[in-house]
Copies of this chain bind each other. A is one copy, B any other.
Amino acid sequence: MRLEAFVRASRNAGIKLTHQRLEIFREIAASSEHPDVDTVFRKVRGRIPTLALDTVYRTFAVLEREKVLARVSLFSDKARFDPNTEPHHHFVCTKCGLVRDFYSGQTEDFRIPESVKSWGAVDAVYIELRGICRACGGNL
């Protein structure tokens, strides 16, 4: 169960296990929909009426640093656009945010899992290779 991992990670990292953090974690762990910060805030506030939105942000930041959870999508803050309209993929440096295009014929071979097929129709297979670019110390 995820709650245990959370408790364990908190102790390891020397992070205080507060009521707020517990409820925030409970909320996001209970959902399979990756709710945004504000949604979590409103839900948890039902249980802790004095909760501040900033506490939700800070809690997520801490849990992300401790790898208890991960941010969905690396490119978060600023909008970026891609003039390349052919189907292609990206290599992304998780350190500096560098993005480079690459192509692969292998997407044809990808077998869509049955579970996914039952959720809807798949139009595109997008692959993101995440790593560290040379400038940041990858492949030295």
Contacts and interface: CB of A to CB of B under 8 A. Distances in A.
Interface in A72-118: 72-76, 78-85, 90-91, 93-94, 98-104, 106, 109-113, 115-118
Q: Interface SS of chain A: helix, strand, loop or mixed?
A: mixed
Given A119-B133, A130-B124, A63 B91 contact: no
Q: How large is the interface on A (under 10, 10 to 19, 20 to 34, 35 or more residues)?
A: 35 or more
A110 B73 CA distance: 21
A91 to B, nearest CB: 5
A136 B121 CA distance: 10
A112 B106 CA distance: 10
B72 A100 contact: no
| Copies of this chain assembled into the complex | 2
A37 interface: yes
Contact of A110 (B34, B75, B127): B127
A120 interface: yes
Interface stretch (A10-18, A24-32, A44-52): A24-32
10 A-B pairs with the lowest CB-CB distances in the bound complex, closest first: A120-B138, A121-B138, A120-B133, A36-B78, A122-B131, A72-B80, A73-B75, A126-B128, A124-B130, A29-B83
